[in-house]
Structure formats: structure tokens, C-alpha cells
Chain A
Amino acid sequence: MTTTESSDEFTPATTDEARDFLAENAAGAGRAIFPVGGRTALHYGYASTQPGIAFSTLRLNRTIDYPARDMTITVEAGIRMDELTEILKAEGQRLPIDVPQSSRATLGGVLATNTSGPRRFGFGTLRDYLIGISSIDATGKTFSAGGRVVKNVAGYDLCKLMIGSLGTLAVITQATLKVIPQPEASRILWCAAADWQAVETALENLLTSATRPVALEVLNANAAHEIAAEARLDLPADGPVLCIGFEGATRETEWETETMTAELQTAGIRDVAVVADAEPLWFALTDFATSSDEPLTFQANLRPSRLVEFAELATSAGVSLAAHAGNGIVIGHLPDTVTTLDAAVKILSPLQTLAHEADGNLVIFDCDETWKQTIPVFGQSRQDRALMQRIKQQLDPRDILNPGRVFTKNAVSAAQ
């Protein structure tokens, strides 16, 4: 039974209604609750181990307060990301988090999955922007943490705890975010590399560049083709590609693209092109994580210095791959030709091993449900897992919220 198959669904119109529902459920039936927003990432994690009720936040979508001059905004968690972007844009501001499928994804879902994209290199991730949060726990208790000021250290930072908790600790109902000004200009440089060694040299050189990119993407040829096609741009892509983004004042980004173009005149880098309209390319780069029907999508995290080695290995196995190279985050899609679990494992095993050696991990975003019996969705178990389980136990003692989704009792995780 998966959450999406659940026939039962509850969509509260107010947080009071939401709270009462959760409190009554906890006091009575104690059915499993699956928080859902835009339903774009429900396949992530293990399937639920119990039937239950989908708890949709879609009607909790109001703007509570937007003191634009303080550069903070408080909104309900069911707000769609596109809508939030529009509200901020009207005041010349933005939340610099790249979200795939932003017309469907909700802020609550984005927080629960700790979504990020190319611009995290320059702007960081949600943990750098979430300053206050309200949630309802499995017993129907409403709690908040943080506040509405940009700097605050009163109490434990439960904002950090809720980010990436995948709806296993509480239902997020409201969030206060720090926002930043819209940049005057946004530009992307696209260039082709003769081989992976040239990519590594370019990345090392970037460490001392006079410029300050906000995004540093490495694509293999497969991914570069897909992304260029998606953005409807005619860009060279017969080998690895480097995609470097700049944002800021027009004068600044002009200088940066010129300087970077000159700096890239190193061995093995060619066809350096400034993309005329960066917007569609930003979208295509962001949506890459979710834009395929491939049999398996993963995200690996590594030391940035091990990325090229990983990319080379993955490319030789036919994986389509895009990486936030400055952060050591790689997203990969297994090729269509992989139709069996055995074939998937054969490609993934060496990649998993390499990720662990590079002090990271390999996490499955999406794959056939049955494969999850064999491939550990959350990668190698971490040492602090027992502590995480104690926290889950404290906040949701009856295991009502997304039971089994992360802390599953199935064979794979027991072995972890």
C-alpha cells in the first residue's frame, strides 16, 4: 500500500481544523497520516507500512504576513512555489531555492524534502532561509520554533529538524522565510570539455577564479543533450559540459562572464558560449532531477574533489548525470535499457561504493517499488540513526506519521 493509493483524504481549510483532526485521530483510531502537498515526491522513501489517510495541505495556502521592507515573509505551508515566487517578485524579492515542478510543489513539501538546485552553490539551501516554523505533531499538538526576525537563537532550532524530515515528525503548517533581493541580471556560460580531466582542471581553476559564480553545474553528454533540448537551446554537447551561472548587477555579471570566458581558455575547454536567455536553462537544469521516465533516479553526495571520478564511472555505465559540482551533489538517471533489478544493482553497486569512499552516500529518489526491497533507498546507514529514531519516537510515539517511509521495518533497513 502506498500513500498515493490511499482512498481516504482529508483537506483542512484552517490550521484549527487540521489540529482538531489530528488530535481526534490520535485520541481515537490512531490511523496512519500521510502529509501531502503537490504530490510530486511521494515516491521518495519506502512505501508506507500501513494504510492510512492522506492529509493534504493544499487549502492551507494563505500569506499571513509580508513585511517586505524587513525582507521576511510568513506563509502557510500549502502555498504553491510558483505562487510564492510571484508574491515575492511583486516586491523585487525572491527565495533563491530552485524547485522542480514549481507549479505543483508546495512550500511544505519543499521543506519536508529539503529540495535544492543549481543555485545552492551561491545562495545555500533552505536551512539558510527558514527562520520560523509552525507544525502540528501526531498528537494534534501545535508547536512553533524560531520567529519572524532574521537573527534569533532563542530555544532549539526545530526549523533545522523539520527541514528534510519527510513528514515523519509533524505536519508543517506555516513557515517564515528570509528573502533576498531579485538580481538585476542572471547569466549562464555553457562550455564543452574535451574529457573529464579537462573538467577537473577547470573546476580546480575555478577555486581561484576572480569571479564568484552562483552555480557550477557539470553535465555529461547525455544530460547536456536532454537539458539543452528541454530549454530549446542549440548548445554543443558531445562530451562533458560545464555550466556556470552568475547573478547580480548587470555590470557585474557582464564583467564576470567576460572574465570567466578568458579564464576558461585552458586546455580542453572549448565552445564557451554566453546563453542569451538564461531563464529556460535555469528551469531545465532545475527540473532535470524530476524530468525523466527513467527506471531509477538517484542523488549522491560526495566530496567535491571526488565528483569527476564518480561522473566518469557513472557515464561509462550509461547514466545520464548532472551535478552541482561546487557542492558535491550528483543527480543521475539510469538508462532505459535497465529493466531488471540485477541490471540496476550492477550499475549502482560500484557507484555506491565510490560515494561511501568519498565520505558521502547514494540515495534513491525514485525506482520500482519492488526494487526497494534490495536497494537501500537512504543509502548506507549513518551512525546517528539511533538518535534520529529516538527523536521520531519522542515526537510521534505511536508512529502515525508516514510510518515506514524512512524508519521502515523491512529487510533492507533492518540490515542497514
Chain B
Amino acid sequence: MPETATISTIPAEALEALRRIVGESSVLSAHEQVLVYECDGFVIEKNTPDCVVFPETTEHVVAIVKLCNEYKIPFVPRGAGTSLAGGCLPVGGGVMIALTRMRGIHDVNLRDHYAVVGPGTVNVHLTQHLKGTGFHYAPDPSSQGACTIGGNVATNSGGPHTLKYGVTVNHVLGAEVVLPDGEVVQFGGYTEDNPGFDLTGLFVGSEGTFGVCTKVIVRLTRDPVAYRTMLGVFETVEDATQAISGIIGAGIVPAALELMDQGIIEAVEPAFHFGFPLDAGAVLLIEVDGLEVAVDGEAEQIVALCEQNNAREVRKADSPQQRDLLWKCRKKAFGAIGRLSPSYCTQDGVVPRTKLPEILKFITEASARHDIRIVNVFHAGDGNIHPILLFDERDAEQIKRVLLASDEILNRCIELGGSVTGEHGIGVEKINFMNKLFTEADLETMESVRLAFNPTGLCSPQKMLPTAGACGMEHIEKSHPARRAAL
């Protein structure tokens, strides 16, 4: 993989100063140490940071950010590094601020239904911490066992339960943020409707370009009283997607509505032995939750709608163990893909729900056209698709075809009235789709908002906006070394 030319190398005295701030052992700068941080879950592009620092307090972050400003060194926040869009790729090198040690659950207040957590808190740890209280933290990305809440805030993560409960932004009351100039501000707070602009809402999803989040106040949600979890088995993907339209069209909003196609079943079944029929075209994992008196009625309606759409059968999870196993299959589906292929690229696109059959047909055609195997597991209820393109990383020719097929699929999403990302973000991966989704004026406005936060462009340079930073358009090429190598 070719290296990007680094814009900055850190002066020795700055490195010394960083060591004084966080302590000797909390700064990594040797090449073999920083190599681990050359990419995140998006492995197609790589660049090493000059150093990685591990702050433990907000004061540490402030001091690091001020130092970077003093020496004009770019810096990038990083959580668990599970981003699938290259969000924490250190374009231009510089200082990587790794927040994994700021993982305290500082406060849980059930009466006012919030919790205050450090940005490095692993998503699932909060849920585990809340077990037995009758409350939970609703956003549950499939990566929740690893990803951090700070990273979720930065990317506005979703998950299988988004359909009913919403994405991260719907559950964030406030955030403490170290702005790119080192000033600490509090957006939102412990209460709702604070006067002024909704900077919390604006910050969520800003992908690390508006500053470093050092504390998050999240909203807690009551646990549902009852669930009914079902598995609809369909001969074809087409039938499954028609059933989805039928369910949503009937005014039912399930807690989750996830599709797995035959390719994914082939990977998941040998891994977890749920008993998925290997010859089915697709299965739908459907969960309704709510009051005990309501869930059976909804479940019956769903079964009927699946049957109307040619379901071969609809199974109900008849024990908590079966439900857990079903969810495990869904959430660990990505992990199981290793059985199918040495490397894979998870795409993330969105279409209006009613356009699902069309986009899935297109994916099948693209797969054939480019001779790249594509399997599907996705948040069908939201129209959020995740085609997974299987390839061998050592074969440059295959990578080229993977990129072409991805581009075609995403372009088709735009044509169908959708977007090129439902939850993974733009990062560096999708930066050149931005001017297909938005006009120049749209991007200028976004840029001007970014300038209010990040006037020097030192914080997460060259991410998200094609006009980003002070560098103009030329960086698109610069930040796509792999793409250039492949094409």
C-alpha cells in the first residue's frame, strides 16, 4: 500500500511537551507503535500519525489541542477505530488523540433519565452497567462491543433498533467539547430546550471536525416490557422486501426489521448454528416491542403480511435464549464473513424504503457485471443497505472492480432519491460523492459552519467536505492513495 506524503513531522520539542502533558507512557511515536493506527475499519487507505497520545482528562485534551495549535500540527480524535469510512485516518499525519482511556461512567440518574459518560466508554459497557435498572441506552450499532460512545456521537451511529428508537442524535442531551482552539464548551446539558442554537445536534455527526468530545450526556430509555422476535423465511429477496413495504405501509413500526440474504446465511449458519434454511433467498429478522397486551396483535399482523408476500414460514423465537441467538447471528454477521472471503468492504447506502427491491436488483446486476461476490445484511426498515463486497486484498485488479461496483451502487442510491451513507459517514471514503449529493452552495454553507468551529482546519483536516481545510480540492486525490494505485 503506498504511503501518503506526510504534511507534518512533529518537532522534537513538541513531542517532549506532549509527554509532559500526559506522561511518558501515554505517547506513542515509534514507527512500529504508530503503525497500528494507520487505518481504522476502512482498510483501503492508510497513513500513520506522527504520534498517538492517550489523554485521561479534559485538561489533558485542552493542553494537547493548544500545543497542536502552537506548532500548527494537525490532530485527529480517535475512539475505537471501528469507523468504516476512514474517519480517523490521520490525513497529513500529526497527532492522533486516542480517547480510549476516558471511559468512565460518571453518573447515572434514572429520575432525570440521563447518564454522563466519558467519550471512550464502549457502547455495550453502558448497557451492561444499566442492566437491572429498567433503563437502557438505545443506540446499538452492530459494532457496540468495541466502538466508543464518543465515536458514536461523532458519526451519529445507528443500529438495528434505529427504526423505532432513532439514531445517536436522538439520545444525546449534551456534550462537553474541546473546540479546535482548545476552548472547552458545554453544548446542551442535563435539561432539554436550552435557549440558542442546537449545537449538540449540529455537533453529533460532525465526524471529529468540530472538536474533541470529552464528555457525553446521554438520554436513557425505559426497557420495553415485552418483545416478540420473529424470523420470516422467503424464497427470494424480492418477496422479503415487498413484505417490508407491506409492514411499514400497514402503519406498524417494528423495533427492528433486518434482512439477511442467502450469501450471509451461508456465512452465519455454520458459525452460530441457529438453524437458518440454507436454501432460502432471504430471511427477515423482525422484532416488535412494547406492552404485553400489544405485542401479540402486532406479531400476528406481521405474520399475516409476511404470508401475503409469499413467506415460506414465519418462526417465532419461543425463548429468550432463541432471541439472543438470533440477535447474535445478526450482530456478529460481519465477523462470520471471514468464512466467505479473506477481505471484504462493507458499503453503506440508503434508499427510500419502497425502492429497496430496485436497489437490491441493481446490486445483483452489479455483482455479475464486475464479477464480485456481494452479500447483504442490513437495516431494511430504514432503507439502509449494507452490501458487502468480497475480495482478496492482494489482488489489485479485484480491488479495482470492488471500487467500481461500490461507486455504481452508491450512484444508483442517489438516483433513487437516497444517500451514500446512512450511518458510517463520509470520512475520507466518500468525500467525492459529496458534490453529487449536494450543490456547491450547500457545501459552501457547510464549509462556513465548519469555519466557525475550526477556522484553522487543524482539527481532522480534509475530511467530509471536498472543500475542506485550506487546501482546496486537490486533496481528494491526495487522500485516495489506494484508489489511485488501484485505478
Contacts and interface: CB of A to CB of B under 8 A. Distances in A.
Contact of B382 (A151, A393, A406): A151
B382 A160 contact: no
A158 B422 contact: no
Interface string A238-255: 000000000011011001
Interface string A152-178: 111111111101110001000000000
Contacts of A395: 445, 448-449
Given A163-B198, A210-B225, A301 B424 contact: no
A44 B186 CA distance: 25
A251 B419 contact: no
Interface stretch (B17-25, B65-73, B189-197, B470-478): B189-197
Given A163-B198, A249-B294, A149 B350 contact: yes
B351 interface: yes
Contact of B201 (A67, A163, A363, A406): A163
B205 to A, nearest CB: 5
A180 B196 CA distance: 28
Residue with the highest number of chain B CB atoms closer than 10 Å, among A114, A127, A384: A384
A78 B290 CA distance: 37
B192 A359 contact: no
A211 B292 CA distance: 10
Contact of B248 (A69, A207, A361): A69
A155 B449 CA distance: 11
A93 B248 CA distance: 12
Contacts of B206: 156
Contacts, number: 247
Contact of A154 (B110, B170, B222, B419): B419
B378 to A, nearest CB: 11
Nearest to B291: A252
B130 to A, nearest CB: 14
B269 to A, nearest CB: 28
A154 B421 contact: yes
Given A145-B442, A361-B195, A388-B197, A151 B350 contact: yes
A158 B423 CA distance: 17
A153 B379 CA distance: 15
Nearest to A406: B196
A391 B197 contact: yes
Given A212-B291, A252-B294, A383-B186, A142 B438 contact: no
B420 interface: yes
A409 interface: no
A174 to B, nearest CB: 13
A51 B41 CA distance: 55
Interface in B161-195: 162, 166-167, 169-170, 179, 185-187, 189-195
Interface stretch (A10-18, A99-107, A282-290, A302-310): A302-310
A149 B352 contact: yes
Task: Give the 7 A-B CB pairs with smallest separation, nearest first.
Answer: A160-B201, A181-B251, A143-B445, A390-B452, A360-B191, A394-B448, A152-B419
30 contacts: A114-B193, A142-B441, A144-B442, A145-B438, A149-B351, A149-B419, A151-B383, A152-B422, A153-B155, A154-B437, A155-B443, A156-B205, A156-B206, A157-B156, A159-B201, A165-B197, A181-B252, A211-B291, A248-B294, A249-B294, A249-B297, A252-B291, A299-B193, A301-B192, A328-B191, A360-B191, A382-B195, A387-B199, A388-B197, A394-B449
Given A156-B206, A299-B193, A388-B199, 11 more contacts: A93-B251, A127-B201, A151-B423, A152-B421, A154-B420, A155-B437, A156-B449, A157-B169, A160-B198, A160-B200, A164-B198
